Every structure is written in structure tokens, then in C-alpha cells.
Chain A
């Protein structure tokens, strides 16, 4: 059911018309359980001018190819990478295109237990009527298996290793036995079932995952956007989408977005655009964070200022991203401001605004 008043719509809702257009135009072989052929799934994610499908993933198209082929096979798909590199977005888009909906999802955390992966019980019914199918609460995995659909597990490495290993037998056997219902009660996965998992390389990483589980997944690393213009375009488009949803007219000028994208690229790569090495930060400088900063800057400009987002709002918002866990980052950022930004501020109004505001904040934070 689509609700116009929600904060965030699902991918299948946002791209409903595109998915429909692809279904109509699809003349290729569709694998069992899939709603679209692999080629159309690819076009949904990478774009198609003829069918007016907008590109949704900015990165190596071969990654999308490999992800699709992995989901066709017996292996699951594990998307790994730094935070904010669009792993969840890719996982959602693939699921929306292949399955037609994105309802089957498990959010990994320390609180996840085996029952969240296999099945649970409605204890009231269980006590009242004994073990029966109606009393069983199927998990998203079980539902996906029974229907031959894709299930997503976000941040799988946040689950305890013993809980993760429940997936080993599920991935190998492609079945879940429910002995409580009888010794022969086994739910076998229908064609089309598969798992897409995501893992963050910064937190407890994939090195803690058991090798047995790793062997059951094909891995894809999603890298941050390398090209400055591409990142800038992405920030602009995402910002536009957010501000439009909120009916806010304030926009960040192109030069301000450029500044933001440049700062992020340089701090992320530990190198200025002309190749000068700079001290690396521990903070994650992802495109998602950049979009958040641009959004927050525009909101600040809209509600607290004259409605014009400039370099100073960017500086105010960026501080919270840069200075997180590691106190060294503050000094490295200070050096960046004093040496790189200051010089640029001499020939650019936006950089000058950024520099002054950043200096002010650093002074206050000393």
C-alpha cells in the first residue's frame, strides 16, 4: 500500500513506472522466480536512454553485472565497502527489480538471534493450540524461500558470528526444517530465492565472518566515487530530490556543491586535486555524508539565514562529520584548513567563506 505521507518510499514505489516500462519491453529470457530478465535488471540500475530509465548507480557497471550473475547462481551476494558507498541502495534496487518488492529485509544487530533468521512463534497461539503452522512466525528468510524471492540482510557482520553461521546450512541446503511441526516438515527454497547481504568494512569487518559462510557468498566491493564531476552530480541530484520532497526552495549554488565535493574527495583520498599529499583522516568521508551536509546546509540557510547556502554553512556542517572518534583528525583538518583552504580562499568567495567559518569553529573547539 502506498502512502504519500511517509518519510521514505520503497524503491519499487519510487521507480514504479520504470519497472513497468521494463516489464513491457522485456523480450529476454526471465529466470524462474524473477520478475525481469537479467538484462532488464541491469538496465534498471544502470539506465537506458530509449526506455527513459535513469541511471541509479554511479560506479563500475561490471559490478552490477557480477552482482546480477551471482544472484542467478547458488551463491549469495555480499556487498562490502566503506560506510556511505551505496551498498544498501544497490541491494534494494536489485531486489526491487528481481523480486518486485523489497519487503523481505533483516537489519543486522547484536540483538539478532537464530529465531530472527529461521522462524519464531506466536507464543500465545503456541500455548493455546500447540505447535501448528498458524502459530509459526516466519522470518523474512523463510518467506523468501517459500516464495522464491530475494531477502536482504543489512549489516550482517553486526550479528554475532554464531548467529551468522545459521546461514551456512540455509545457503547450502536451501531449506529450513521445522521439527516442531513434525519430523518431515521441511520448507525448501523455490527457484528465485537468494540472499543479498551488506557489510561495513569499518566496523567489525568481514574478517570475523567464518570461512564457511564466506564461501557461500560472492563478494563485491563497492568503492567510493572516484570521479569528482560524477560525485558532484550525484550530490546535486540527491539534494534536489530531498529538498523537493520537503518543498524547500533553497538550493546550494553549483560552486558550493563543487567545494563540498572537492573537500570530500581530497580528505578521502588524502591528496589534493593537484597531487599534494595531506594527512589522512580516520573519519569516513562518504558521498552519503556529503549529501547529508549539503542538505543540512540548505536547511540551515532556509530556516536560519537568508535562504542562500554558501561555504560557511558547509563548514559548520562538515565539522560534525570530520571530527568523530579520533582527536588526531581535528589537527589534520586544521592543517588542511590552514594550508589548503586558506590559499584557495584568496581567489574564491565560497572558499573564503568556508575558511572563515571553519577557523571560527576550530578556535571555539580548542
Chain B
């Protein structure tokens, strides 16, 4: 690696081991079909005793499974590394139909040759920071980003590093000169490596890994074929060596799992290997079938026919003429770029220019279909003896019971009658549990939401379900929480509770209750006693009357459809209500009028809850006794009126009580509060009394009529404030009642005086404003105020 330049002969020499006859090097790009093709030619000619593959050394235990006849690509080795429960990280080592590693392992098995994994153990990849994306152990980001790649693309008129790779290397599939081929790949990768700073190589761990690989190579004296990512090959010829297993790495558990073409494609977005596995698989199959260079036009034609079918399914029709035009355009573009072979970039370009009429964007349906065609969506298979991480197995079985497929990554939809069908209810609970796990398996599109209280009356839930290997990976990560889905879901909810505590919100009954509701929706009510206990203790000390009333209101909704989880709920309702009663009885001690107003408003709301379904769960007698005790003490008219309204509604006081309170208060005889206070207290708790009990309205009307004009005008703003507490419907009801009583048109009552039009009002306001401005300028404002 110390040379300034590398000639073609030198490249050949290097891959042939630089004069050694016991080793050859196969520099590859992961998932390259031509590398796989040439590897077989190399194997047949070199006849190694062992094939050494760039894969974590500890994965060797899975070789028999990979070689098993039942194992079908795409599959992956899924590793979960780390010791601490909350620092687990997951990594994939995928195999596709065109992976040279896959071919090497299978070839070794078929020909009775040993196979050895020579990279650092999988725990090497465990990093200290929190993992935000799953890590692909076949990172090849440099194939697209190196400066000389960009220059080469510009020179050759190619779009990016992938197009360049195709142009230079995938066009040789079907040829037989493996030495020439791998020498060219080596030279390409040598140049990539030469343009990478040493510090970056060290930082990314490449130097240490390569030392491991060299250690393995030198320790094994047999005739060996060394297959590694091309970027590493130049470093394997010389340099420092590390003997295997001398260093301790993070623990790792790994499994061979089914993988998917769609996931392979996505994972390649993290800078590894070639995207669109289905396209490359076709290329490889065509070459194998021909046992020579494939018929490129036939491959193109087959792909476009499949693309056409995909499009037809969604109403995007492609005519035969358009298909012909597509093929001609793709081939024309390839020729313009200096070759006959049509690759992906030509196909995408041809689709864009031929099929999309109008402005183009990357999310056009035609592109989406094309990407789908070339990505594929098949999922591989592993033998039963591969076993599954227990949690994954549990998730699979539950999915099967819910009639959801796990052998495809296609989107599936399900509608569940959660109230009337017990089976559906169970499936719903499973889906909710998976939602709690946050693995992206289930998405509820519509249905009753007990967490927010939204649409709690509707019957059906609609779900979108999708299985993918990434979900399996995430389930493996969560395995430390338990082996069954419900168990893990409960654990996740407990973690959410701990997070509230850590954030100083450990007594936020609203937030805790939301966690409880999620658990209830997921059928976990019987398993969340720690959370219920926490809610219980938080309720006993809370001063948040709004949250208490909210909880009581929501508990009714849950209660009404899932009786099996009632066990803990009835106790909870009582605790909440007891605390509510305590806060109501303390209302007279409150000094802040706004706080008092809040409690009274909640009393009105609570009355609605007490009169609603399952009102019998509440100990009304205790409540009424508590209010009775309050009424025995001296209270301002606002409170007295509000509490009396509750008692009148409960039948414990006669209606006249309210009438008398209003008369005394409005007439001004009770100077302990403002003259609208009793009215406002009544409106906040029981506004309907004004139109239901005519004696109350009559009493109010009579006492107001007796006021002189001056007094009336003085209290008018306060009356307006009191009536502003009514909603428009209530306002209209009251207006109707008043209009009947006074034999006037209700419109006149509602819309106000006809003497003043809206324009008059605006004019008056403007005049007032200008007058104020003038008084201010003349410094007469104080004089007017004091007069």
C-alpha cells in the first residue's frame, strides 16, 4: 500500500498474493452479482482448502444454518450487542441472492471446503452512543462519496457511484477472466482507499478490523481464498496483525433470521451494497441460465413487463407503443453513455421522459412502482432449527392468530369489531400492545381512542399492519424486557412512568392516567398494578380538580366496554371521587377567586359525570353530605348558589332556595359579593335551571325589574359576564324562555336593540377613541375620570 501508483500488472500481482501460492484475494462489493459470478470461476481454478470471509468471527456458529438446504435468501444475521439493558444495539449482516459471501459459504459447503469468518467479533461494533438507526455491518459509503468517484462520474456522464460501478464492473457478468476482473476491482478500491485519510480509517475502526483479518490469514497455513470488501483488500497484504480473541468486546447474541428484499433495499440506503436487489438478482439468474453473458435486452424487457403489470394494478396503464418507446429510450441512453448494456439509471431516465407527461417529482407513482419492481418484496426463509428469539416467535404466533402475514412486507389492512366480537377484541389488544412497543408494526387509522376520549362511541377499529425484518430486529432488542409481547408492553409502560418521575412529574395524574388508559386499551389492566398504585397515591395528594374530573369522566368510557378489566377500576374511581369531594369541601378556604371559579366549573362538569352511565359507581351520598356541611357555614353568594344548585339537583333542597338566593343577591341586600355572583354560580353549575324551573327565572326577572336605571346600568357589565358563561345553545334556550315570558320576538332578545346598527356601533367606538385621544393630548383625561 505504500506505492504512489498502481499499474494493471501490480494489481494482478496483489490479488494473486504477491508471489505467494497459498493465498488469493477476492476484493468484492457486497451484493454484486458479477463478483459472485467471478468468485465461482476463481474458486474452480484456485481450488482453496479454506475460504476466508469478511464477517464477524463469532458468527461462525451460524455457518451450518447458512449452509442448510432450507435456508433461502434473503436472510440476515441479526446481532444484539451490549451488556446494559438500556444500551442494547442491533446490527444486521444481510445476505442476498447475489451476495458473494453467500455464494462463498454455500460453495464451501457443497464442495466440502472449510469456511472461516475473519473479521473482529460482532461486539466490536458496539458503540457508546445511543443508536438511532440499525447498523449494517457491510458499510460501503465510500463507493459513492470519494472525490475521484465524483470526477469519474462527471467525465463519463454518469449519475453517481452506483451507476459508475455498474458501468465499470457489472457489465462484465458472464465473462470468465476472473483475474482481470478482480485486478480491476482491486485497483478501483485501492484508489478509493488511497484517497481516504488515515485518521478516518482509524476512527472508523478499519485498521483494527484489518489487523484482526490479517491475524486470521497468517495463522491459517492452508491454501486460502480471502474474500473481503474491496476497500480492505489492499490493507490485508501487509501491516500490523492482531491475533484473534485477544481483546474483550461487548457481549453479543445473534440469530439467523429471514430478511426481505424491501428491507435489503432500505438498508442499502445506509450506504452499503447495491440497492434494488431484485434487479441484480435477475441479472445474476440470467447469466447463470445462459452460463455466459446474459441477453440484456431480454432482461430489460422482462423487467419492464413486470413494471407494466405493477402499474396496471393501480390504474396507471402503459401502452405497447409506450413500452417500445421506453425500451428504445433506455437503449439510446446506454449507447450515449458508451455501452450497450442498459442499467438502472437508464431505465429510470427512460420512464421519466417517456411516461411522465408534465412536471415530474420524485414521488410520482411511476417511480414508486419502478422502485418496487426493482426492490422486490420477497422475504427469505430459515430452517426451524435456527430458532427465533422468543419474543419474535411470540409476535409471529400472535400475528398468525390475528390472521396477519409475516412472510411478506406488504401492507395489510384489518377492520375489527371491538365491541361485539370477542376475537376481534383480542386482536385489537394485541395490536395495541405492539403499538406500545413502538416497533412500527401496527398503525390504528380509526377507532375509539380512550386516551384522548376522541370518538369513543364508534364500534370499529381500522388498522394497517406491516411485518418486516426491521421489526424482528427491534423485537430482539426488546427481548431483555421479556419473552412475551404483553410482558414487554407492560415493561415499556413502566418505563414511561419512570420517565415521568425522572422529569419531576411523578404526581401528574393526567399523564399517569393516560398510561393506564393505553394499558387498558391493550388489555393489560390486570398486569399494571405498579402503575395503578402510583396513580392511586398521586390521586390522594393531588390538588388538580380538573384532572380528577377528567379521569372520572374517562373511566366511564372505558368501563362501558371492557368489563373484564373493571377489577382495579372501581377502586380507582372511588379514590378519585373521594379526593374530589375533599377538594370541594376545601373550596371555602380558597382565596384566589379564579381558583374558586375553576372548582365550581368542574363541579358543573362532575354533575354531568355523576348523572351519566355508571354513575352508580360514585358514592353520591358522601358527596351530598359534604356539600351540606359546607352550606352550614358562611359562604359568599357565588359559592352558596353553586353548592345549592348541586343540592337542588340532588333533590336535597327545594328550588325556591335558588330563587331566594338570586333575589337577595341581585337586589343588593347581600353585600358580601357582587350582585351577579349568585347568578354566575348557578350558571356554572346548573344553567338549565333558568329555563327548566320557571320560578327561578320569574324571581330573577322580578328583582331585576325593581332595580332603578342607575343601579341596573351599574351591574349590567357584570350580568353580561355571567351570561357569557352560557354556550350559544344555552343562550338561545334562555332567550326563548324570556321571549315567551315577556311576549316578545326571540330575535329581539338575542340580537339586541334595533336602535343601534352595527355601523352605528362602529362609529360610536371610533368617536370614543378620537375623543380619548384628544383628551389625552389636552391632558384632560384625569379630569374626566375624576369627574
Contact = CB atoms under 8 A, between A and B. Distances in A.
Interface of A: 38-39, 42, 46, 61-62, 65-70, 72-75, 80-81, 201, 205-207, 211, 214-215, 217-221
A66 B360 contact: no
Interface stretch (B11-19, B208-216, B259-267, B330-338): B330-338
Nearest 3 CB-CB pairings of A with B: A69-B332, A214-B357, A66-B353
Given A62-B159, A201-B359, A219-B357, A42 B349 contact: no
8 contacts: A39-B336, A42-B336, A73-B325, A73-B332, A219-B356, A219-B360, A220-B353, A221-B360
A42 to B, nearest CB: 7
Given A66-B352, A220-B353, 20 more contacts: A42-B336, A46-B157, A62-B159, A65-B333, A65-B336, A65-B337, A65-B349, A68-B336, A69-B332, A69-B333, A70-B329, A73-B328, A80-B359, A205-B358, A206-B358, A206-B359, A214-B358, A218-B325, A218-B353, A219-B360
Nearest to A64: B157
Contacts of B352: 66
Nearest to B155: A49
B315 to A, nearest CB: 15
Given A42-B336, A72-B332, A62 B356 contact: no
Contacts of B585: none
A42 B157 contact: yes
B349 A66 contact: yes
B772 interface: no
B366 to A, nearest CB: 12
A73 B359 contact: no
Nearest to B333: A69
A167 to B, nearest CB: 14
A201 B353 CA distance: 17
A206 B333 contact: no
Contacts of A220: 353
Contacts of B332: 69, 72-73
Contacts of B336: 38-39, 42, 65, 68-69
A207 B358 CA distance: 8
Nearest to A213: B357
B357 A206 contact: yes
Contacts of B325: 73-75, 218
A281 B483 CA distance: 56
Interface in B400-455: none
A211 B349 CA distance: 21
A70 B353 contact: yes
A65 B163 CA distance: 15
B359 A218 contact: no
Interface in B121-162: 157, 159
Nearest to A49: B155
Interface string B334-363: 011100000001000110111011111000
Contacts of B356: 219
Contacts of B328: 73
B354 A80 contact: no
Contact of A61 (B157, B321, B353, B354): B157
A62 B349 contact: yes
A247 B33 CA distance: 60
A155 to B, nearest CB: 16
Given A39-B336, A65-B337, A75-B325, A80 B358 contact: yes
A54 to B, nearest CB: 15
Contacts of A70: 329, 353
Interface string B90-129: 0000000000000000000000000000000000000000
Contacts of B360: 219, 221
Interface residues of B, number: 23
Nearest to A207: B358
Interface of B: 157, 159, 321-322, 325, 328-329, 332-333, 335-337, 345, 349-350, 352-354, 356-360
A267 to B, nearest CB: 20
B349 A218 contact: no
A106 to B, nearest CB: 21
A73 B332 CA distance: 9
B358 A73 contact: no
Contacts of A205: 358
Contacts of A80: 358-359
Contacts of A81: 359
A218 B354 contact: yes
A206 B336 CA distance: 29
Given A42-B157, A201-B359, A218 B329 contact: yes
A66 B159 contact: no
A81 to B, nearest CB: 8
Contacts of A201: 359
A173 to B, nearest CB: 15
A353 B511 CA distance: 52
Nearest to A67: B353
Nearest to B157: A61
B354 A62 contact: no
A46 B335 CA distance: 17
Nearest to B321: A215
Interface centre among B345, B349, B350, B354 (most CB of A within 10 A): B354
A232 B534 CA distance: 62
A68 B352 CA distance: 14
Given A42-B336, A69-B333, A75 B354 contact: yes
Nearest to B325: A75
A90 to B, nearest CB: 14
Contacts of A75: 325, 354
A219 B157 contact: no
A80 B329 CA distance: 19
Contacts of A38: 335-336
A69 B329 contact: yes
A214 B319 CA distance: 14
Q: Which of A38, A42, A69 has the most CB of B within 10 A?
A: A69
Contacts of B335: 38
Most buried by B among A39, A62, A206, A211: A62
B358 A219 contact: yes
Nearest to A68: B336
Contacts of A221: 358-360
Contacts of A46: 157
Contacts of B358: 80, 205-207, 214, 219, 221
A74 B332 CA distance: 12
Given A201-B359, A214-B357, A220-B353, A66 B329 contact: yes
Nearest to A74: B325
B510 to A, nearest CB: 32
A154 to B, nearest CB: 18
A214 B356 CA distance: 10
A42 B333 CA distance: 12
A217 B322 CA distance: 11
A80 B356 CA distance: 12
Contacts of B157: 42, 46, 61, 65
A73 B353 CA distance: 12
A218 B355 CA distance: 8
A62 B352 CA distance: 11
A43 B28 CA distance: 34
Nearest to A61: B157
Contacts of A207: 358
Nearest to B359: A221
A357 to B, nearest CB: 33
A62 B345 contact: yes
B30 to A, nearest CB: 26
A329 B576 CA distance: 55
A215 B322 CA distance: 8
Nearest to B337: A65
Contacts of A217: 357
A207 B357 CA distance: 9
A39 B352 CA distance: 21
A217 B353 CA distance: 9
Contacts of B321: 215
